[in-house]
Structure 1
């Protein structure tokens, strides 16, 4: 403004002011650009972190969820575990999640969540969960609380892992471990049964042999003969019991022939009608087209009798019905799973026998032991019935399965192969008895046995038959005795199971030095099994202890010296 009061423009001042404002704007613009770049960088970092998190969750197979508090809004951020079902779970909300937990797990899981919400106790639970389409899965659920002040936010963040496959694998492992444990248990029982049978047969050899010789010495004394007969018959029953234990030990070579299972059942019908407990009925559903199977008919008849006897006794107090069914089935690999001996068998055609009774049933603890020898829920002495069934079925290449619950009866299934992969063959050379009137020419017999009672009674029996016995208490002593006596020995009887040197090794050594000298193995084990085991040796035969006088005479006759 000049002295006259007029205002004049100042271009230089205005320019300076504008430049100053522009500088401020440029600075602000740079700040905005920097902030924008930082925000973009932060957004990119967040997107990368979110993508990384989703990728990690996807690779882990986990599902990440969030429950907003306090409104309980339910979100699922990764749905790889649940697939399409997870979207339905999210839409149905927290109420559905609570109801979909298995009722046996629900209270425990909900209480654990309440502890998390109340005092922050970490939530880590495993539970069964039902998806909307009805499938049950197993989940491991881990969650914690997220609490923020700026902005104010509180939620439950969690991760669930679908462990259904692992649970199923664990259950399958337990089944397999149980089967392995059962097989080990059975193997130990089999070894025990064989060992006990061997020792019992040695003792019974002395009892029966001496009793039979005493009977020969007392022909005119009826009271004494009756007593000796009673002793001999009791010993014979004990020998039958050891034979059953050996049957349990199976598998053994069987006297196999084509057998009709239907015919065996029909042949028992008259006997069954006569022994029916009051109020018990039998129904039959027998497949008329059932093929023949290679089997030992005597052993199968014993199996049928034992199973039917068990069913009758289960219904003896209140009556009921026994249904006997036969049919031809084609077993696949899956069908064999879970059956006793199923893991040892091959898929193929089997004849199936089923016996279903309406008796009192069996609890799980008893069911796991029913095939053990001497185990019985009845009185003492009845515990080998199902053990024999177990051994016979095993020896025939078959399978077993028993279903039962207390109060709901019992069903026993067994499968026998129509074309077994290794059909049993008739037994090889096992000596038989001959009539007492048959002549023999054997004079000098070497008996090698570590049991002195067996040597004594065998010597007395040989003497009765006109022979002279030389004896030895072990294999080495026996070979030395043979070397000493040379050609005077015309027959060698050697026990299979001995200390120092086994009977098989002794027999091999004798035959190597004297290939024409008859050698007979004596054993408390099954004669057919011993014959099979030593089929590579040219044995003259096998004598199964306890043997009778006429069976020993059969040896002397068959070697024909």
Structure 2
């Protein structure tokens, strides 16, 4: 059996072996004055001293010169002795003079009689850990500077329940709140009332929690209550175990982008509408030319026939019916041309109240007794610059539309008042405008119908009940007059359609006044010799018939070249009447060549629509097809009078 000293020696040996086997820690003993009394391999590895080099030396040699001057070694021992333990991190010095970051623990060693025997000192090299921590801290600081330096994006954190935990300068700039005003509050405060009521904030967090990311565009609210378009991203943040720590939220103000996109879309739509109008204009122009020639032949022949037939009661109604049908065809063509802006307008100062007043008897008969009609005109309403005949037709279209929208009866109100410049789409140039409106109490229109209302050939009246050109014609009249058409309606609440027309300036009034004072045209000579030129045989025959019926002699030519050849050959005429739209040589070109050779010979251009290029034939008297015999006689008289 071992004795107690033997057992104690064995335990000390085992303790010594244990301490010597530890190389990750410097473990050594100090006497009460702080001199090294033991030294393990870990201390030798950390500090670079062998045991025989350090035993008996004061442990302060491991401290930096600054710490020694500050008395840190003595305070460490004093703290350990009085408080039972000293623990600290700081710089220590190796044998070669290099420094390392150490975690130091000093424990006092007491005898059974509470006598201080010395100190146990444990040192661990934390240089690498400190480097990593410092690098992480530096990275975090740089990231924080980066986040705070971003001003185009609101970047902030949310806790798992959606409360704000931090706030960058971009968030302050975009949303208007300082950090102390919002940290701790729920991020739903930035949503509109409608979105909060719909639960969108919670939907966004749940999507990010479930999918890891949520992205959307929507309206958000600033501190001052203004709204802006935002692109929002919410990212879920989890630790390595997958536990949700919170959310990273990024908001970008895209208001300018949305506005630019809307402007681009509007420009594209306007371009599409312009291209569509141009295509329809080309189509209607071609159709109008051919139809006007046909209607010219029909109406002219019917007119001559009516004059020459005996007044047979059984025949006259049929003839009148045929004339009325042809005239409706002319009106339809004029509507198409008004939409495509190929119809010449006679822009003159017009009294809107007089136009409406002159229509009222006819309008009341047309709408029926079940519909009440009211007029409201501001006093001293100025004259507007437009085409009086086309305005009357436009108003009649609007009134008929209003009547059809009230099959059970109702009220139509015609209003006129001054109005400010309606929008930037109308060139103002300091002009004043009058708003002429037709309002009804009918069924109204939905948004889709309003958007398509002025589209040519669009109608809600069913097949055979409307051409779909009424509002198109009204819009064409308004825009050609320098104004615009405005439609206001909602389903079940009636409709108001307004013509915004420019006020006629004083110069136009003077011109009109002077024109009215012109003397009556002198009567024509009994017989004129007229050269009629047209490539359409039906039209040429009809024109010849009307001229001969007026008592004139006619020389026919089927094209410009034939007309010039006949004139060069000595054919003497008092006046030349030519169609404009002819192949190879137009009527305007023919007129130009005639005026160079025979400058005193009057030339009249007949046009199916406003087809003349700019500066071509602009000084020539023009006769719009289809023309009546009365119109033909008037322009002949005017051309001869100006000769």
**TM-score, L = length of structure 2:** 0.69
Alignment partner, residue 19 of structure 1 = 57
Aligned residues of 1:494 and 1:522 also touching (Cα < 8 A)? yes
**Unmatched tracts of structure 1, length 5 or more:** 1-10
Distance 2:301 2:443 in 1: 47
Aligned residues of 2:363 and 2:396 also touching (Cα < 8 A)? no
127 and 242 in structure 1: CA distance in 2 versus 1, 3 angstrom threshold: closer
Residues 1:458 and 2:550 aligned together? no
- With 263-272 and 453-462 compared, the bigger mean Cα shift is at 263-272
Alignment partner, residue 328 of structure 1 = 418
Residues 1:518 and 2:602 aligned together? yes
Alignment partner, residue 238 of structure 1 = 329
Residues 1:161 and 2:248 aligned together? no
- Matching residue within 579, 582, 587 for 1:498: 582
**Unmatched tracts of structure 2, length 5 or more:** 1-34, 38-51, 65-90, 94-98, 103-125
Aligned residues of 2:162 and 2:205 also touching (Cα < 8 A)? no
92 and 403 in structure 1: CA distance in 2 versus 1, 3 angstrom threshold: same
Residue by residue over 1:158-199, the C-alpha shift from the partner in whole angstroms, topping out at 9 and shown as x without a partner, is 322122332233334333433333333334333433332221
Count of aligned pairs: 524
Residue by residue over 1:524-554, the C-alpha shift from the partner in whole angstroms, topping out at 9 and shown as x without a partner, is 126xx869964554x3x32222233454455
The 5-angstrom pairing of residues 480-495 of structure 1 reads 480-483=565-568, 485-495=569-579
74 and 401 in structure 1: CA distance in 2 versus 1, 3 angstrom threshold: same
Offset at residue 153 of structure 1 (A) = 7.7
Distance 2:359 2:179 in 1: 62
Aligned residues of 1:434 and 1:553 also touching (Cα < 8 A)? no
Alignment partner, residue 275 of structure 2 = 184
503 and 114 in structure 1: CA distance in 2 versus 1, 3 angstrom threshold: same
Residues 1:82 and 2:175 aligned together? yes
Distance 2:436 2:179 in 1: 48
344 and 281 in structure 1: CA distance in 2 versus 1, 3 angstrom threshold: same
275 and 502 in structure 1: CA distance in 2 versus 1, 3 angstrom threshold: closer
Distance 2:191 2:303 in 1: 81
Alignment partner, residue 442 of structure 1 = 528
Alignment partner, residue 622 of structure 2 = 542
Offset at residue 62 of structure 1 (A) = 0.6
25 and 147 in structure 1: CA distance in 2 versus 1, 3 angstrom threshold: same
- With 304-313 and 212-221 compared, the bigger mean Cα shift is at 212-221
Aligned residues of 1:105 and 1:127 also touching (Cα < 8 A)? no
Answer 1 or 2: higher relative contact order, Cα 8 Å, separation at least 6.
1
Offset at residue 451 of structure 1 (A) = 1.4
Offset at residue 409 of structure 1 (A) = 0.8
103 and 181 in structure 1: CA distance in 2 versus 1, 3 angstrom threshold: farther
Distance 1:525 1:52 in 2: 69
291 and 96 in structure 1: CA distance in 2 versus 1, 3 angstrom threshold: closer
Residue by residue over 1:230-256, the C-alpha shift from the partner in whole angstroms, topping out at 9 and shown as x without a partner, is 433432332333334334444734251
Structure 1 SS opposite 2:492: coil
Alignment partner, residue 365 of structure 1 = 448
Aligned residues of 1:323 and 1:357 also touching (Cα < 8 A)? yes
Alignment partner, residue 32 of structure 1 = 101
Aligned residues of 1:205 and 1:454 also touching (Cα < 8 A)? yes
Alignment partner, residue 14 of structure 2 = none
Distance 1:43 1:385 in 2: 75
Residue by residue over 1:457-503, the C-alpha shift from the partner in whole angstroms, topping out at 9 and shown as x without a partner, is 3334445535242322x3334333433x2343443222111222222
Alignment partner, residue 436 of structure 2 = 353
Aligned residues of 1:397 and 1:420 also touching (Cα < 8 A)? no
Alignment partner, residue 205 of structure 1 = 296
Aligned residues of 1:73 and 1:93 also touching (Cα < 8 A)? yes
Offset at residue 266 of structure 1 (A) = 4.3
Distance 1:508 1:235 in 2: 34
